[in-house]
Structure 1
Amino acid sequence: MRILPLIAAGVLAASSAFAQDLTKGAADIRDKALADPLAWNITESLTSEVGARMTGSPAMERARDWAVGKFRELGFENIKVEAFTTPTWSRGAESAEVVGPVPHKLAILGLGNSSPTPAGGLTAPIVVFKSYQAMLDQPPGSLSGKIAVVTQAMGRTQDGSSYGAVGAQRWAGAAEAAKRGAVGYLIRSLSTDDTRLPHTGGGLAGGIPAAALSPPDAELLERLADRGKPVTVKLQMASSTNPASPAWNISGEIRGKEKPDEVIVVGGHLDSWDPGTGAVDAAAGIGITTAAAKLVAQAGQPRRTIRVVMWGSEEQGGSSGAYAAAHKAEMGQMIMAGESDGGAGRIWTVSLPRAGADHAAMTAFRATLPKLNVAVSRAAPTNGGADIAGLMLGGVPFVDFGQDMSRYFDLHHSADDTLDKIDPKELAQNVAVWAAFLYTVANSDVDFRPKPAAEAK
């Protein structure tokens, strides 16, 4: 009666061999990624051949066609262009200047959803607030006829947490200023740089003109206001909105050979703001995830399907909800979702779901990380990216790969967001992490969904 022990020993040996093969395969693909130029080539192609690509613009149509062509060129299958509509904002001619007590030209970029100024511009006295909270503390009507100016600076952090800490002054500031009677709104750019390049971005419509100042110009207004004399600014902005612009989520797949209906969804957002060429935000994310999936395919057809999605309206919104609605019936078969949208700085930490952490696939993945100087967080991921938010709400497990964002907000949403700011070695390190992860998940049966308590026992 030694049959059962022999069977158990055989299963254990097979399991051990599988784990060893997976660990070796993950290490091999990691090392190949570090020397592979594909992510750089993809990023260069998108930024050079399309450039800035705001949703609702002709450039976004070119980006759509570029995405389809790139998937075909790289041998992806089941390429889909999924159309949806979303409200969009377009920039027109814009300028700002101090007209009293001393004339100064100001460097600005209008914020998404800003209203245009009246024909001929808007001239009004300013009220400077050195913190956003100081403006919020003002009662209704107290800013009547004034342009509110918030000059609170953003700190430099590795994890980008300072963006969330001060972000409300851009996201909600115009609406809050309007509630207090302001006729215009200016903020110090959400930037960690000191150049005279302002940084744009989206915000809630407040019904008033709203723009971001370059950091030096925000400091100039602060100094002028501190002198105690009235300061008057003239704004000219000719923006427009479209309540239903066409947009597209584009995807391609590396089809699984054994479990093709089990899908790993990764990608980045295809759209960008308009001042630069959208290199770090987020052509790099497109390059990283597409190259990682292609490397897995080159290692042999995986067991599960890897789907790369180029989401078409992250900056102005709409792509996450549209994608989640279009794939609602499929969410139960989605093994994992992940998005690369933190630029091109090296990954320094990964946050993985607790379920599945002890599986051989995750053991193999974690074994690849010391060489890449990546730490594994003890905390489960809480935010995987704006474009997978709809999938997360639908119960799809997700990961968060933390990139070094120490320099990201020097560039983000500005004219300095260009290809030359990307370090090819750091870009390749990102690909190595993503490729090792995709390889281990796609070639295993790891399950990241928490099991019911009774089943877990």
Structure 2
Amino acid sequence: MIWSYSFICAIIVLYAAVITRCQDQYTCDSNTLLPRKLVQEIRSYQPVVDKIIDTVVHGDEQNVTYNELAKFVDTFGPRPSGSKSLEDSIDYMFDMLRGQGLDFVHTENANVVHWQRGHEEAWMVKPRLKRMDILGLGNSVGTPEGGITAPVLVVGCFEELENNSKKANGKIVVFNQEFVTYSKTIKYRVEGASAAARAGAVAALVRSLTPMSINSPHTGYMTYDMNTTRIPTAAITVEDAELLARLQERGSEPVVKLVMGAKSLPPALSRNTIAELRGDSKPEEVMYTGHLDSWDVGQGAMDDGAGAFISWRALAVLRRLGLKPRRTLRCVLWTGEELHTAGALEYYRRHFSSEQQLMNLVMESDSGTFRPLGLSFSGYNEQARCIVAEVLRLFTRINATRLTLGASAPDLKAWIKEGVPGASLSTANEKYFLFHHTEGDTMSVLDRHELDLCTALWAAASYVFADLSMRLPR
């Protein structure tokens, strides 16, 4: 299935905006906005929340999330869409979830984008010979056989490219944009190739989207405008982008040779993986999610193995504690997220019409699983916001009481847009973009204790939302 350029860009912009912005804590006067009986009911869950925290953080479930995730990513490594490693990892998760004794464990087919990196290399050949570390951007075309060798034009922004468009003809355009926030710089990765092509460039190189670098390129996907030539594009390190800029400022004209074997294959068949803890009295559902696929570099431990694992582990913990909520808890582990959120879009297409009114809350963890701060929430109803804020007060002992507005949930965007309340895990993720989409995304980024805290918050909060007598108002 092919999604429109504008729709894909909208998802990117939404995700980038919500993941990086500075947010103030939302507060409400629950005594004014909520019925007293409801406040008392929420506060009555404190012993249950404490039991979950004690079990996961200090008891029999301590370190289990970390150990299971480490086994998973060490076994399968990176899991790009269309790869055997992804499909093998899905088979593994299916068997794992069935072994946990969860309800209605199954998979659902989804076609995913199948892009392969191939061999790639880049060299600065003038004014001296230097190898450049690169990562081709997902969806990019490759270079002709033998590569492309051309002078570079370094620009700091799209406006500078427009002002120097005549100089770009026949050159490799290098975007050396300053990193301010992810939301403000992602446009160069996504749209840079088409902007350069309109100016006559033969290729584009984009400075990696990170606030700090140790000579590591950061990949990610990009898109092409419908009416422009498709030119190869790759991410380069901050250090190399700044080197090329300095050389140009001194009057030199650096020359780069770029070789990329990237290619797009027909869509591949993959699967979303689903498990439930069936509710005992109410028809509504609470769904939480993460994605199993990753980029083809690193281990995909942070992005988003950890988000997927705290989701299924939340179900497993509740089952072992014998906690059966009124509403069904559903865990969905997406496929094909990194390239166009393909699995989530297919799930939405299949389920939205029949489940929109049943969904009490949709939750996603895909912005890091560091020290938990609370939740981010998307929902226009002031009473719903206040209910979430009151639930988070149950997590004072682990300092995870903060509620911010605007969930970081790219896979659930379509549900939230239609009015379904949405939430995402909020953590102290200041170092997220240091490792995002790099070889450095490994288990070494993660902390055992922080993963336990995230698992406990995810399990306990979802249980309360699924068990409350009142559903979240819209």
Local SS of the residue matching 2:154: strand
- How far apart, in 1, do the equivalents of 2:445 and 2:320 lie? 29
Matched, 1:102 2:124: no
Identify the range of structure 1 (209-218 vs 391-400) with the bigger mean alpha-carbon deviation.
391-400
- How far apart, in 2, do the equivalents of 1:314 and 1:133 lie? 31
Q: 1:198–1:213: 8 Å Cα contact kept in structure 2?
A: yes
Bigger Rg, which one? 1
2:220 maps to: 201
Q: How high is the TM-score relative to the length of structure 2?
A: 0.85
Matched, 1:55 2:81: yes
Matched, 1:341 2:363: no
Matched, 1:88 2:114: yes
- How far apart, in 1, do the equivalents of 2:311 and 2:114 lie? 26
1:247-286 alignment, distance < 5 Å:
247-259=270-282, 261-286=283-308
Q: How high is the TM-score relative to the length of structure 1?
A: 0.88
Q: Given residue 301 of structure 1, which amino acid in structure 2 is its aligned partner?
A: K
Q: 1:368–1:436: 8 Å Cα contact kept in structure 2?
A: no
Q: What's the offset of the Cα at 1:427?
A: 1.4
Q: 1:281–1:342: 8 Å Cα contact kept in structure 2?
A: yes
- How far apart, in 1, do the equivalents of 2:162 and 2:93 lie? 43
Local SS of the residue matching 2:405: coil
Gaps spanning 5+ residues in structure 2: where? Answer: 1-34
Match of 2:178 among 126, 134, 153: 153
1:60-209 alignment, distance < 5 Å:
60-139=86-165, 142-155=167-180, 162-205=181-224, 207-209=230-232
Q: What's the offset of the Cα at 1:131?
A: 3.1
Q: Against the structure 1 CA distance between its residues 447 and 115, is the aligned structure 2 distance closer, same or farther, given a 3 Å change threshold?
A: same
Q: Given residue 355 of structure 1, which amino acid in structure 2 is its aligned partner?
A: Q
Q: Against the structure 1 CA distance between its residues 358 and 174, is the aligned structure 2 distance closer, same or farther, given a 3 Å change threshold?
A: closer
Q: What's the offset of the Cα at 1:136?
A: 4.7
- How far apart, in 2, do the equivalents of 1:225 and 1:280 lie? 37
- How far apart, in 2, do the equivalents of 1:137 and 1:344 lie? 42
Q: Against the structure 1 CA distance between its residues 256 and 122, is the aligned structure 2 distance closer, same or farther, given a 3 Å change threshold?
A: same
Identify the range of structure 1 (201-210 vs 386-395) with the bigger mean alpha-carbon deviation.
386-395
Local SS of the residue matching 1:222: helix
Identify the range of structure 1 (196-205 vs 291-300) with the bigger mean alpha-carbon deviation.
291-300
Match of 2:444 among 412, 420, 425: 420
Q: Given residue 145 of structure 1, which amino acid in structure 2 is its aligned partner?
A: G
Q: What's the offset of the Cα at 1:16?
A: 8.4
Per-residue deviation, residues 230-260 of structure 1 (Å, max 9, x unmatched):
211000000110232212211111111222x
Q: 1:355–1:447: 8 Å Cα contact kept in structure 2?
A: no
Identify the range of structure 1 (436-445 vs 346-355) with the bigger mean alpha-carbon deviation.
346-355
Q: 2:143–2:232: 8 Å Cα contact kept in structure 1?
A: yes
1:441 maps to: 465
- How far apart, in 2, do the equivalents of 1:171 and 1:362 lie? 36
Match of 1:399 among 404, 418, 423: 423
Q: What's the offset of the Cα at 1:225?
A: 1.5
Q: Given residue 330 of structure 1, which amino acid in structure 2 is its aligned partner?
A: E
2:348 maps to: 324
Gaps spanning 5+ residues in structure 1: where? Answer: 1-11, 156-161, 451-457
Q: 1:271–1:312: 8 Å Cα contact kept in structure 2?
A: yes
Q: 1:38–1:287: 8 Å Cα contact kept in structure 2?
A: no
2:314 maps to: 292
Q: 2:364–2:412: 8 Å Cα contact kept in structure 1?
A: yes
Q: What's the offset of the Cα at 1:362?
A: 5.9
Q: Given residue 170 of structure 2, which amino acid in structure 1 is its aligned partner?
A: G
Q: Given residue 82 of structure 1, which amino acid in structure 2 is its aligned partner?
A: E
Matched, 1:308 2:331: yes
1:231 maps to: 254
Q: Given residue 327 of structure 2, which amino acid in structure 1 is its aligned partner?
A: R
Aligned length: 427
- How far apart, in 2, do the equivalents of 1:294 and 1:153 lie? 44
Q: What's the offset of the Cα at 1:423?
A: 0.9
Q: What's the offset of the Cα at 1:13?
A: 11
Q: What's the offset of the Cα at 1:314?
A: 0.9
Matched, 1:355 2:383: yes
- How far apart, in 1, do the equivalents of 2:177 and 2:376 lie? 31
- How far apart, in 2, do the equivalents of 1:134 and 1:32 lie? 56
Matched, 1:390 2:414: yes
Q: What's the offset of the Cα at 1:305?
A: 0.9
- How far apart, in 2, do the equivalents of 1:150 and 1:293 lie? 45
1:33-48 alignment, distance < 5 Å:
33-35=56-58, 36-48=62-74
Identical counterparts, % of pairs:
31
Q: What's the offset of the Cα at 1:20?
A: 5.2
- How far apart, in 1, do the equivalents of 2:344 and 2:75 lie? 25
- How far apart, in 2, do the equivalents of 1:401 and 1:16 lie? 23
Q: What's the offset of the Cα at 1:137?
A: 4.6
- How far apart, in 2, do the equivalents of 1:362 and 1:443 lie? 16
Per-residue deviation, residues 324-367 of structure 1 (Å, max 9, x unmatched):
011121121011101100122122242344333455x863x223
1:455 maps to: none
